[in-house]
Structure 1
Amino acid sequence: MTPLLLLRLLCLLPLATIAASAGLPADFTTLLAAKSDLSDPTSALAAWDPRHSPSPCRWPHLLCSASHAAPAVASLLLSNLSLAGAFPSPLCSLRSLAHLDLSYNSLTGPLPPCLAVLPSLDHLDLSGNAFSGDVPAAYGAGFPSLATLSLAGNQLSGAFPGFLLNVTTLQELLLAYNPFAPSPLPPEPFSGLPHLRVLWLAGCGLVGEIPASVGSLRSLVNLDLSTNNLTGEIPATVGRLESAVQIELYSNQLDGRVPDGLGELKRLRFFDASMNRLTGEIPADLFLAPRLESLHMYQNQLSGRVPATLARAPALADLRLFGNRLAGELPPEFGKNCPLEFLDLSDNRISGRIPAALCGAGKLEQLLLLNNELVGPIPAELGQCRTLTRVRLPNNQLSGPVPQGMWGLPHLYLLELAGNQLSGTVDSTIAMATNLSQLLISDNRFTGTLPAQVGTLPALFELSGANNMFSGPLPASLAEVSTLGRLDLRNNSLSGELPQGVRRWQKLTQLDLAGNHLTGPIPPELGELPVLNSLDLSDNELTGDVPVQLENLKLSLFNLSNNRLAGALPPLFAGAMYRDSFVGNPALCRGTCPSGRQSRAGRRGLVGSVVSILAVACVVLLLGVAWFRYTTYRSQQSGHGTEPGGGKARWALTSFHKVEFDEDDILGCLDEDNVVGMGASGKVYKAVLGRGGEVVAVKKLWGGGGGKAADGAAKDSFDAEVATLGRIRHKNIVRLWCCFRGGDDCRLLVYEYMPGGSLGDLLHGGKGSGLLDWPARHRIMAGAAEGLAYLHHDCTPPVLHRDVKSSNILLDADLGAKVADFGVARVLGDGHAAVTAIAGSCGYIAPEYSYTLRVTEKSDVYSFGVVMLELVTGKKPVSPELGDKDLVGWVHGGIERGGVDSVLDPRLAGASRDDMARALHVALLCTSSLPINRPSMRAVVKLLHEAAPTPAPPAAKAAEEKPLDV
């Protein structure tokens, strides 16, 4: 075929398409017009083409009506196809259309009023898009046949569209998670909705009381008014919802008592009124609802005893009442008559014994009774409950030995018994606990030796047995546990030497064996542990010298005091900075040891002196080589390294934006005077470039001299950051200009410079924190939230940051926030990402992350919640002033003891109290201990917009602008 003939055929193709479509029924011509209005990046609608499929009823994503003489479109199923653009208005011409589903695409702009006139439309789903503006008033007067209307998860604003409750044909109304202006529900909205089965109004900005007329919805199956700002009492008429299966009222400001009568709801399976201000006792009849499976009323102010009817609950599987003021004993037969799977009564004042029948149905998986006043032994029956995966009983008054079978439960991954009066030994049956990740038994009265079987646990991450009476040596098998991340056995009576082979502890971050009777030398292999940052071996009887290998560690806590160590300290530890780390070791000396101490050390001291002399000689030699290289470097003309032939060293540049600089401009600024930050992955420099004075930030990753593990970590960090930031464009994500790879595996990342520094420095850096008033803090948290929401919801596939913290939120000159440092970021595949080691920073890590090593977007949400708490309270996530708790625990305890006002930052003006309290509420949602209870980052953004600071009157605003006394 000649090129000219081919060109003629190509020119005829549009004419062929027009000709082919000309003979189509009208509905299918309309579809082609709608298709042309949409952006279809995945070609999901490519098959809508009469040239390829002359029978349009066989086109994908649609169904035809059989009740018309000519084919007509009855259903359009276009969900989750990545379609973009405005709503395609030609669809309003499909008079036979009964089912339209455009959910979870990227459609924008206003909602189309024209849909309301379609006579056959009974199912309209436009959820999960980005439609904005008001809901058209026509929707309240049109839709003659509409049964299902879903507009959830958009960006609809304006007042809540109460007029939709006039659509009497509705069976399902779903408006959840739209940023409507704060609006009340109409006082009498429900009398004209006899067929309504689903009412989903979560996160709609609702205020005021729940109307009593809600009880007239006799067909209602699912009522969800959660995550609003509803106040007042739960109306007693809720007890008339005879068809109700699920009632969701959590995360509001409801108060008063839980009404009687809910036990009469014969179909009720799920009731959630958690995170409100409910008071009084739990109604006794509630547990008699015959199908009640799940009851959540945690984080309220409920008081009194748990009703005895709890023992008669026939279907209860999930009971969560933690964070209340409940007292008294639990019914002894609780669990005997119901299929209990999840029980959380933590943070109450429950006393008496743990009911022996909790696992009576053989289904109990999670048992959480921490921070109560329980006494007596752990029931032996729980030691036979092989379904248990998570047991948390700390901070009670439990006594006696742990049931033998509990040590070896095969599915248990968390056993937390700290802060009791338990005694006995750790049984050797622990070898059968092959899923155990965390064994937390500190602050009890355990005795005996730790069994060797502890070292056979394949998933053990944390062993915490401090403040007990363990004796004998550490089991040698413990050195075989390559998964170990934390080992805390301080204040026991352990003896013998530290085990050999600890280099296998490549994931260990904390080692605390202080206050024992350990002897022998410190293993030099400890210096090879790449992530160890807390080492405390104080108050033992260790001997020998301080291994020079420990200089390799980057430690936040280092204590070898009160031992019997001798000899000269390694050079790094000889300075005043480490003085307190070595007190109580009289035979240790800085510099050259006196002869008397050398004689005590004997031959090893002489050898050590010789080694020290050789080391000094090596240092002098290395300094000479370094000086030679430096002078050579300075003699070169503006270059930064040459090749043997005198040419310029090769640097590999990868650019993500147009840049006007090269490696010479960057490398010339990398001196210590320009260092503006330092972290676990490298140093950050401020680089003022010669051409026009442009300012950038340069991160030089650690590399070289750190061994293969260190180099591998640096490479992973570099690759992760390049892979993530190289494809991201968002106003709240720090911009990566380019990256350089050079000789000796040198890696440089060049970012936009953020003159405001990090949020952590500004918030916790002394008097500078007084400059951050509440509107500024809210603006920062809202901006950072939008950046994270983009990573989670708008990147394909989603990106997990994994190290969200205040020091990784950078600020521009106007205090605009941008998320930074993606060195440990991961791409999310099928809902979670499996990792081999903990990433993140102390105080920010989600509780489930440390023992499952599986991260989801909810892990980032938890970390961001901690950042929000920093902004609300002014406290650091971990600090001595918080005692033995992290910031999340401190806030919960403070609210319990003194209310919300006791945890708010007192440096801020009193006029911001209500705004801060609203943000605190969002932060508490984000830091929920259960990932399922945390909102998505998209929902967090909406909640923060709803909690935006109220404008201050002029006089008050002027007062707030005065400098704060800090």
Structure 2
Amino acid sequence: MKKKLVLHLLLFLVCTFENIVVLAVQGPASSPISTPISASMAAFSPAGIQLGGEEHKKMDPTKKMLLALILAGSSLGAIISSLFCLWIYYRKNSSKSSKNGAKSSDGEKGNGLAPYLGKFKSMRTVSKEGYASFMDYKILEKATNKFHHGNILGEGGFGCVYKAQFNDGSYAAVKKLDCASQDAEKEYENEVGLLCRFKHSNIISLLGYSSDNDTRFIVYELMENGSLETQLHGPSHGSSLTWHRRMKIALDTARGLEYLHEHCNPPVIHRDLKSSNILLDLDFNAKLSDFGLAVTDAATNKNNLKLSGTLGYLAPEYLLDGKLTDKSDVYAFGVVLLELLLGRKPVEKLAPAQCQSIVTWAMPQLTDRSKLPNIVDPVIRNTMDLKHLYQVAAVAVLCVQPEPSYRPLITDVLHSLIPLVPMELGGTLRVTQPTAP
């Protein structure tokens, strides 16, 4: 419409210019609009020259031609100025309309994506190392047989983990979370966002996520041997966990923590390290899971973190004063190491209203070499080199020190465990095979 308007105005100005030239040369009688044009152009005539009547007819031809040229030049200048103004006007309006069009287009896109991004903010956190894909809820429902009770692998604070089998025959673990509360939604988004960034052999792999109303789903790789908690304190009571396997699990856990503390930028504090969050694959390789409560090291400086975690694994300074650092994870690792050594739960009931932590119970005996072999888990008792047992006990004691500054860095723990794990399990220990009789 604007282009047509400009063209019409241009045509009108050109026609007007032609009429002015004709009027100036032929006189007012030859133009059907001579009277208006003469009256309007009188103001532009030099020395107040009048264009009508006998004076015009008696005018000298040379003067007549000169006057025509002056009038034509003046008219042409006016036309050019008008066209220039129209051109600027058109450019400004075109620019505005294009910007408005772009804004409206972006707005339409934003409106279309707003519900998606609102529910799945974590999808915007995509690192160079990996990404998470949104999965259709119907696919997860079918793969878990409508989340049948028989497919439950474990239970957590906000929901259950189910075993899923997809059409192509592959398996996965699906965590189903009830996110009606703000805390649950926050943990869900936090975990998906962090796992998108992580890529390490001792961190659980994220395969995807989904949503259905207030329910959220996180899809992980399936860990066939379940959690360390199930293996140690479940029906088998640790019978599948030899001494070397336990040291391998401790080493894998330390490697996962070292990745979080030393290789992530910014560093990450797990905040809920425990045996139920250490998962074991078919070959008993350990991987850290459940990052809903994990925080970056920078976030701990805000001093507004709500006390979260599991009783028995919480470091004293965090439990009493709310001070959270990477040394809090080291304390929790020490508790896990004691579980592996002793086969006991982190907190055990002595009476209906009385509990005792594994740290409080074991600490006096861990440093006594005469007592230590007697409190080791019966499943592995007398199956290890005593020197190795004393060394692991010493590491555990350091990790659970009440004062954080006395605890080692997880990197130091890692280096102290590597010589205790056989080479075929990822360590440097050369295991001498017993000689056949």
Paired residue for 1:666, among 134, 140, 150?
140
Aligned partners of 1:784, 1:713: CA distance in 2, in Å?
Answer: 27
Aligned partners of 2:431, 2:328: CA distance in 1, in Å?
Answer: 35
Measured after TM superposition, the shift of residue 829 of structure 1 is 1.1
Aligned partners of 1:787, 1:896: CA distance in 2, in Å?
Answer: 27
Aligned partners of 2:238, 2:207: CA distance in 1, in Å?
Answer: 30
Q: Which runs of structure 2 are paired with 1:5-20 in the superposition (5 Å)? A: none
1:948 correspondence with 2:421: yes
Counterpart residue number, 1:720: 190
1:875 correspondence with 2:339: no
2:238 aligns to what SS in structure 1?
helix
Greater percentage in strand = 1
Counterpart residue number, 2:100: none
Q: After superposition, what is the alpha-carbon deviation per residue over 1:326-375, rounded to whole angstroms, capped at 9, x for unaligned?
A: xxxxxxxxxxxxxxxxxxxxxxxxxxxxxxxxxxxxxxxxxxxxxxxxxx
Counterpart residue number, 2:252: 783
> Which residue type is aligned with residue 372 of structure 2?
V
Counterpart residue number, 1:86: none
Aligned partners of 1:857, 1:920: CA distance in 2, in Å?
Answer: 21
Aligned partners of 1:698, 1:767: CA distance in 2, in Å?
Answer: 24
1:900 correspondence with 2:377: no
Q: Which runs of structure 2 are paired with 1:836-875 in the superposition (5 Å)? A: 836-875=305-344
> Which residue type is aligned with residue 699 of structure 1?
K
Aligned partners of 1:835, 1:915: CA distance in 2, in Å?
Answer: 42
CA contact (8 A) 2:254 2:413 kept: yes
> Which residue type is aligned with residue 901 of structure 1?
P
Measured after TM superposition, the shift of residue 719 of structure 1 is 1.5
Measured after TM superposition, the shift of residue 833 of structure 1 is 6.0
Structure-1-length-normalised TM-score: 0.30
Unaligned stretches of 5+ residues in structure 2: 1-114, 423-428
CA contact (8 A) 1:758 1:806 kept: yes
Counterpart residue number, 1:930: 403
Distance 1:673 1:831, change over 3 A: closer
1:763 aligns to what SS in structure 2?
helix
Q: After superposition, what is the alpha-carbon deviation per residue over 1:848-872, rounded to whole angstroms, capped at 9, x for unaligned?
A: 1112112000001100110001001
CA contact (8 A) 2:207 2:219 kept: yes
Counterpart residue number, 1:794: 263
Measured after TM superposition, the shift of residue 896 of structure 1 is 6.2
Distance 1:650 1:713, change over 3 A: closer
Q: After superposition, what is the alpha-carbon deviation per residue over 1:455-487, rounded to whole angstroms, capped at 9, x for unaligned?
A: xxxxxxxxxxxxxxxxxxxxxxxxxxxxxxxxx
CA contact (8 A) 2:365 2:371 kept: yes
Paired residue for 2:226, among 757, 761, 766?
757
The structure with more radius of gyration: 2
Unaligned stretches of 5+ residues in structure 1: 1-648, 705-710, 960-966
Aligned partners of 2:402, 2:266: CA distance in 1, in Å?
Answer: 26
> Which residue type is aligned with residue 689 of structure 1?
F
> Which residue type is aligned with residue 171 of structure 2?
V
Identity of aligned residues (%): 35
Q: Which runs of structure 2 are paired with 1:261-272 in the superposition (5 Å)? A: none
CA contact (8 A) 2:229 2:276 kept: yes
Aligned partners of 1:738, 1:660: CA distance in 2, in Å?
Answer: 6
> Which residue type is aligned with residue 716 of structure 1?
K
Counterpart residue number, 2:382: 910
Counterpart residue number, 2:68: none
Aligned partners of 1:916, 1:833: CA distance in 2, in Å?
Answer: 41
Greater percentage in helix = 2
1:726 aligns to what SS in structure 2?
helix
CA contact (8 A) 2:131 2:197 kept: no
Distance 1:833 1:762, change over 3 A: farther
CA contact (8 A) 1:754 1:812 kept: yes
Structure-2-length-normalised TM-score: 0.64
Aligned partners of 2:134, 2:328: CA distance in 1, in Å?
Answer: 39
Q: How many residues matched? A: 302
Paired residue for 1:676, among 140, 147, 153?
153
1:700 aligns to what SS in structure 2?
strand
Aligned partners of 1:823, 1:699: CA distance in 2, in Å?
Answer: 12
CA contact (8 A) 1:783 1:817 kept: yes
Q: Which runs of structure 2 are paired with 1:240-389 in the superposition (5 Å)? A: none
Give the alignment's Cα RMSD to 1 decimal. 2.8
Paired residue for 1:701, among 177, 186, 207?
177
Counterpart residue number, 1:819: 288
Q: After superposition, what is the alpha-carbon deviation per residue over 1:413-460, rounded to whole angstroms, capped at 9, x for unaligned?
A: xxxxxxxxxxxxxxxxxxxxxxxxxxxxxxxxxxxxxxxxxxxxxxxx
